[in-house]
């Protein structure tokens, strides 16, 4: 049993690695689906242990929500949008004690565009002195089940970024009538690994990052 | 017959012979049974030879002190394996930033394969498999690291499929060498894969299975059912891991009825699962007694006690003076002890 078992275990290792590498190759095959240049504001360096010598960047995005009460939800992530993503809004509103589980979706982010400008203006009106220069200019503006529709709708590849993400829905019982609110809770993957050959460029406090997304919407750092 | 099973049978025979020898001495001391010199001259060498043969063939323990040492060696082997796993993880993280991507990929793929070769090499040179078990744990950790770091290097979106591969790897190695710790690790991985896959079929994110504990119970029941089909020396591990996967989710549903799949009032769900939890714990105790599996019975008893304590806290903690609360808990513990004693006598 030992020898066949060992060979089978080795086969598990080899097949698993082969499947992962085939997936990586498929993601990177041909031209990238989208390429965008961001900065340390949108992709700051990720947290790493003292002994971790790898470099990774962490997605930082701006919710585009008010910073003071009353907080409002993502206005574009309304009931119809949540239904289109797959949430059973009728069941969720009928039974608010059972919160719906998060669903994967594609999320469209606007980079340094009108949504960001509006948000900055609103904050300046709220608090007078407001310095936005260190904040992320990535603001979520739309979501959908398929990437193709979002890629067509937001075709300016330097202004919009379509990524995989996670959408959560909550029944808001604090209003006059029960309402289903949604939020973008995660970008997938949340961290982007920097290849060792490019890692030195990210030791400075300010930097730019060129990200390329492949066919499976898995990103890669291709320049700085 | 698997080698681990043969070794266990040999150990049981050696234990019986050792007990027989001790009991014979006691009978002779009490003058109940006294062997003639001729009988003694034939018996003592037979016992010595049989124990020596068993020890030589299976490397078993022939004295109580050897048994204690073996237990210590098993604990050290497990702890050493875990420490070596941590070393592999931290070593890689310490140096991987200075290794080009192709080098990282090669190291990650080759490390578990080297571990397999080392297991083969070491297992040929030992019968107790302490070192093989230790290397097995490190090899398992290396394969886990392999897929996790691949995910990080290539920014792959996570899926439950890695747990399928890790589970298969652990279980195959466990069967090849008779290593129960690797079997438990493999089963735990599959107990993540099964509920994660079930919930992802409903269109939600795979890692939200923690929010629907019933999906874990399905895998737990399947694992307990599988314990009747697997080889004898592994059935206990299957059973224990499966039962843990049933009892822990019950504990969560006890408190959070809203995390159930059932579209009912969360309070009603919590109360139903509280009843189910007590019935499940009692069934586990019964099953442990029926199949003569002491760890299973202990698990059931521990679960029953925890459930009972939680219910008492729910009922009485807020309004009852604390000294009365603990007095009642103590009195109930005594009552339980008496009940278990009766049960023990009934099953004797």
Annotate A155-169 with DSSP letters as a single string: --TTTEEEEEEEEEE
Q: Which residue of B has its CA nearest to A96?
A: B258
Structure tokens at B132: 């093989």
Q: Is the same domain home to A21 and A75?
A: no
The separation between the first and the last C-alpha atoms of chain B, rounded to the nearest angstrom, is 31
Judged against a pLDDT cut of 90, whether residue B241 lies above it is answered with yes
Side-chain-side CA neighbours of residue B296 (13 Å): 25
- Give the confidence band of B319 by pLDDT, cuts at 50, 70, 90: confident
Place of tokens 């003694």: B40
Q: Is B143 on the interface with A (CB under 8 A)?
A: yes
> Which residue in the block uniquely carries the two structure tokens 């603001």?
A139
- Of B26, B67, B69, B23, residue with least CA distance to B47: B23
Mean local confidence (pLDDT), B237-260: 93
- Percentage of the residues of chain B whose pLDDT score is greater than 90: 43
pLDDT at B84: 81
Distance CA B241, CA B293 (A): 14
Q: Is the pLDDT of residue A26 over 90?
A: yes
User: Which tens digits make up the pLDDT trace of B165-190?
Assistant: 999 999 999 999 989 999 999 999 99
Q: What is the pLDDT of residues B31-68, one digit of tens each?
A: 888 888 888 889 989 988 888 888 888 777 877 788 78
Structure tokens at B180: 């129960």
Q: pLDDT grade, residue A152 (50/70/90)?
A: very high
Q: What is the pTM of this model?
A: 0.84
Contact B112, B143 (CB under 8 A): yes
Inform me whether the C-beta atom of residue A26 falls under 8 Å from chain B C-beta atoms: no
Residues A175, A65, single domain; the answer is yes
The answer to whether residues A26 and A37 belong to one domain is: no
| Domain range for A114 | 32-223
Q: At what angle do helices B232-255 and B3-29 cross, to 10 degrees?
A: 100
Residue of A nearest to B108 (CA): A17
CB spacing of B169 vs A9 below 8 angstroms: yes
Mean predicted confidence (pLDDT) in A183-201 = 90
- Same domain? For A70 and A19 the reply is no
What pLDDT does residue A12 have?
97
What residues of chain B lie within 8 A of the CB of A14, using their CB?
A: 109, 113
Q: Are residues A44 and A7 in the same domain?
A: no
Domain residue ranges of chain B, discontinuous segments joined by +: 1-62, 67-347
What is the C-alpha end-to-end distance of chain A, expressed in Å?
52
Q: Are residues A46 and A92 in the same domain?
A: yes
Chain centroid to CA A217: 11
DSSP code of residue A66: -
Alpha carbons within 13 angstroms on the beta-carbon side of residue A81 total 22
Nearest CA in chain B to A14: B109
Residue A71 is predicted with a pLDDT of: 56
What is the rounded average pLDDT of the residues B273-288? 93
The mean pLDDT of chain B is 88
Interface test with A, best of B155, B186, B212 (most A CBs within 10 A): B155
Least CA distance to A213: which residue of chain B?
B155
Average pLDDT over residues B205-233: 92
Looking at the fold, whether A59 and A157 belong to one and the same domain comes out as: yes
Residues A40 and A86 in one domain: yes
Burial profile A203-218: b = 16 or more Cβ within 10 angstroms, e = fewer: eeeebebebbbbebbb
A73 has a pLDDT exceeding 70: no
Are residues A42 and A84 both part of a single domain? yes
What pLDDT is attached to residue B348?
Answer: 61
Count contacts between A and B (CB, < 8 Å).
138
CB contact under 8 Å between B101 and A195, yes or no, is yes
A22 with A48, same domain: the answer is no
Whole-number pLDDT of residue A69: 54
User: A179 with A216, same domain?
Assistant: yes
- The answer to whether A17 contacts B2, with C-beta atoms less than 8 Å apart, is no
Mutate to test the interface with A, among B108, B154, B270 (most CBs of A within 10 A): B154
Q: In what order do the strands lie in the sheet with A219-223?
A: A34-39, A208-213, A219-223
Least confident among A182-191, B2-11, B34-43, B72-81? B2-11
Counted domains in chain A? 2
B193 pLDDT band, cuts 50/70/90, is: very high
Q: What is the reported pLDDT for A194?
A: 92
Which pLDDT score is estimated for B337?
Answer: 82
């Amino acid at each position: 049993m030992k020898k066949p078992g060992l060979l089978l275990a080795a086969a598990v290792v080899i097949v698993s690695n082969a499947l992962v590498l085939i997936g990586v190759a498929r993601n990177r095959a041909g031209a990238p689906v989208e390429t965008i240049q961001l900065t340390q504001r949108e992709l700051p360096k990720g947290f790493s242990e003292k002994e971790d010598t790898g470099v990774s960047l962490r997605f930082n995005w701006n919710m585009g929500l008010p910073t003071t009460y009353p907080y409002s939800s993502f206005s574009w992530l309304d009931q119809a949008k949540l239904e289109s993503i797959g949430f059973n809004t009728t069941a969720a509103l009928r039974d608010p004690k059972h919160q719906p589980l998060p669903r994967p979706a594609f999320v469209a982010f606007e980079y340094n565009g009108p949504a960001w400008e509006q948000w900055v203006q609103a904050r300046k009106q709220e608090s007078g002195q407001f310095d936005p220069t260190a904040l992320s200019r990535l603001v979520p503006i739309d979501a959908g089940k398929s990437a193709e529709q979002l890629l067509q709708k937001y075709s300016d590849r330097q202004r919009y970024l379509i990524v995989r993400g996670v959408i959560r829905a909550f029944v808001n019982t604090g209003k006059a009538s029960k309402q289903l609110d949604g939020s973008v809770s995660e970008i997938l993957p949340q961290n982007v690994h920097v290849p060792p050959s490019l890692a030195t460029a990210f030791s400075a406090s300010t930097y730019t990052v060129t990200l390329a997304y492949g066919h499976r919407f898995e990103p890669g750092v291709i320049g700085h | 017959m698997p080698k681990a099973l043969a070794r266990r049978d040999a150990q049981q025979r050696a234990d019986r012979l050792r007990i027989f020898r001790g009991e014979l001495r006691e009978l002779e001391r009490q003058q109940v049974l006294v062997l003639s010199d001729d009988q003694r001259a034939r018996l003592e060498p037979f016992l010595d030879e049989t124990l020596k043969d068993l020890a030589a063939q299976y490397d078993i323990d022939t004295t109580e002190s050897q048994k204690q040492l073996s237990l210590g060696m098993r604990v050290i082997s497990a702890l050493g394996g875990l420490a070596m796993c941590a070393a592999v993880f931290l070593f890689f993280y310490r140096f991987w930033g200075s290794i080009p991507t192709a080098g990282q990929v090669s190291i990650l793929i080759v490390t578990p394969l080297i571990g397999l070769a080392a297991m083969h090499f070491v297992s040929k040179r030992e019968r107790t498999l302490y070192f093989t078990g230790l290397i097995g744990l490190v090899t398992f950790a290396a394969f886990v690291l392999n897929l996790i770091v691949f995910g990080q290097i290539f920014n792959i979106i996570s899926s439950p499929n890695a747990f399928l591969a890790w589970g298969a790897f652990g279980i195959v190695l466990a069967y090849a060498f008779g290593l129960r710790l690797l079997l438990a690790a493999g089963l735990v991985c599959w107990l993540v894969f099964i509920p994660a896959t079930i919930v992802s079929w409903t269109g939600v994110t795979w890692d939200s299975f923690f929010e629907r504990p019933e999906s874990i119970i399905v895998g737990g029941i399947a694992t307990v059912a599988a314990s009747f089909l697997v080889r004898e020396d592994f059935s206990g591990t299957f059973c224990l891991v499966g039962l843990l996967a049933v009892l822990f989710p019950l504990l969560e549903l006890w408190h959070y009825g809203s995390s159930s799949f059932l579209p009912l009032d969360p309070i009603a769900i919590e109360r139903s699962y509280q009843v189910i939890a007590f019935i499940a714990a009692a069934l586990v105790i019964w099953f442990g007694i029926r199949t003569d599996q002491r760890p299973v019975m202990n698990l059931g008893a521990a679960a029953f006690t925890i459930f009972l304590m939680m219910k008492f806290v729910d009922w009485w903690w807020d309004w009852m003076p604390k000294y009365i609360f603990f007095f009642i808990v103590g009195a109930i513990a005594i009552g339980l002890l008496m009940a278990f004693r009766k049960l023990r006598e009934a099953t004797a």
